[in-house]
């Protein structure tokens, strides 16, 4: 990890820690954090795998997948009659982490300086964005 990556990770860790402290101390922060988590986080990694290029599109799919995950976890627990909020939270965290874990290995490309295999971080989806000329804002799909 380079310096920039370390800084980014550190910032995220500090932000999450602050939020956790705030959530424990302030009444209205915890519902906000819980809603943001359930509505956006579990699906984020999975949405990124779609390679939608546009951040808004990734956000949309993050929300859709996250809601699906929350519904799935809640439904399984309610139907299975083993309701446990913390188990549900753990399951959602697991889904979140799985979204960032590579699904398959591919051989490193010839230009790659590293030898052998590396984890393939990209979900093998065809880019849905058509290649448009810069400045062409019509781009109707026909």
Q: Tell me which residues touch other proteins (CB under 8 A).
A: 30-31, 33-35, 37-39, 46, 50, 52, 54, 56-57, 59-61, 63-65, 67-68, 70-75, 77-79, 81-85, 88-89, 123-126, 128, 130, 132-133, 135-142
* Tokens standing for residue 67: 């809601």
Nearer CB in complex with other proteins: 5/85 = 85
Nearer CB in complex with other proteins: 4/133 = 133
Give the position of tokens 């546009």.
54
Choose among 23, 72, 22, 13: nearest CA to 46.
72
Cβ atoms 42, 91 nearer than 8 A: no
Q: Quick check: helix, strand or coil at residue 104? A: strand
Distance CA 85, CA 24 (A): 17
Beta-carbon contacts of residue 87 (< 8 Å; ≥ 6 apart): 77
Q: How far is the CB of 121 from other proteins (least distance, A)?
A: 15
Q: How far is the CB of 84 from other proteins (least distance, A)?
A: 8
Nearer CB in complex with other proteins: 4/81 = 81
Q: How far is the CB of 81 from other proteins (least distance, A)?
A: 4
* Tokens standing for residue 77: 């627990």
Q: How far is the CB of 12 from other proteins (least distance, A)?
A: 20
According to DSSP, the β-strands at 104-107 and 117-120 are antiparallel
Nearer CB in complex with other proteins: 2/131 = 131
């Amino acid at each position: 990890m380079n310096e920039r990556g370390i800084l980014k990770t550190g910032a995220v860790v500090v932000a999450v820690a602050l939020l956790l402290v705030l959530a424990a101390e302030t009444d209205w922060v915890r519902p906000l954090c819980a809603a943001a988590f359930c509505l956006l986080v579990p699906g984020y990694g999975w949405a990124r795998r779609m390679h939608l290029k546009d951040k808004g599109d990734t956000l949309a799919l993050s929300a859709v997948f996250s809601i699906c995950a929350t519904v799935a976890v809640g439904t399984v627990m309610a139907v299975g009659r083993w309701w446990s909020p913390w188990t549900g939270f753990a399951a959602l965290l697991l889904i979140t982490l799985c979204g960032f874990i590579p699904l398959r290995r591919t051989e490193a490309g010839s230009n790659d300086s590293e030898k052998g295999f590396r984890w393939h971080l990209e979900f093998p989806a065809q880019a849905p964005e058509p290649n448009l000329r810069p400045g062409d804002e019509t781009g109707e799909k026909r």
